[in-house]
Amino acid sequence: MQESYRFVIEGETPSKKNSKIRTRTGYMIPSAAHQKWHQDAILQLHGQLSRMRKQPHLIDTPVSISLLFFHGDNVRRDSDNQASSIMDLLQDAEVLADDRWQIVRILNIYNHYDKGHSRCEINLTHLEEL
């Protein structure tokens, strides 16, 4: 039986790529709004992990990940940039060791409209060794 995990990150997922600001020295860093979302999302993930009976260790074996973005409005967004924010989040929260292709073998992205209730549902399933 394949092990799987489900997480829900409440709120609209910002694009890290489009939320960068340039410092006076020329470095590009995530905006304060993106950093705040990222820290809040890590806390949400850690809260869900602490309630699990069997927690995933730092995952470094092949997985399939489905990202279901529920948008609370009809504003234009880039799914691939939002997915990148979630993949970085999974690494920084120490769920995934890395998001390289040898670990993330399948990545599905779905978008839905749910007026006033934006969130990202993450379904992560271990794959048999390929």
The tens-digit pLDDT sequence of the chain (130 residues) is: 578 999 999 999 998 765 666 666 766 666 788 899 999 999 999 999 988 877 777 899 999 999 999 999 999 999 999 999 999 999 999 999 999 999 999 999 999 999 999 999 999 999 986 6
Tell me how far apart the alpha carbons of residues 71 and 18 are, in angstroms, rounded to a whole number.
17
> What region, left, alpha or beta, does residue 99 occupy, with left being phi > 0 and alpha being psi -120 to 50 degrees?
alpha
Number of domains in the chain: 1
Query: Which 3 state secondary structure label does DSSP give 17?
Result: helix
Which of 75, 84, 76 shows the shortest CA–CA distance to 120?
84
Tell me how far apart the alpha carbons of residues 69 and 73 are, in angstroms, rounded to a whole number.
12
What CATH number is given to the structural domain containing 33? 3.30.1330.70
Domain span at 119:
4-126
46-82 burial, b at 16+ Cβ within 10 Å, e below that, comes to eebeeeeeeebeebeebbbbbbebbbeeeeebeeeeb
Tell me how far apart the alpha carbons of residues 69 and 71 are, in angstroms, rounded to a whole number.
6
Bridge-partner residues for 54, per DSSP?
A: none
Lookup: tokens for 2: 């394949």
How high is the pLDDT of residue 73? 96
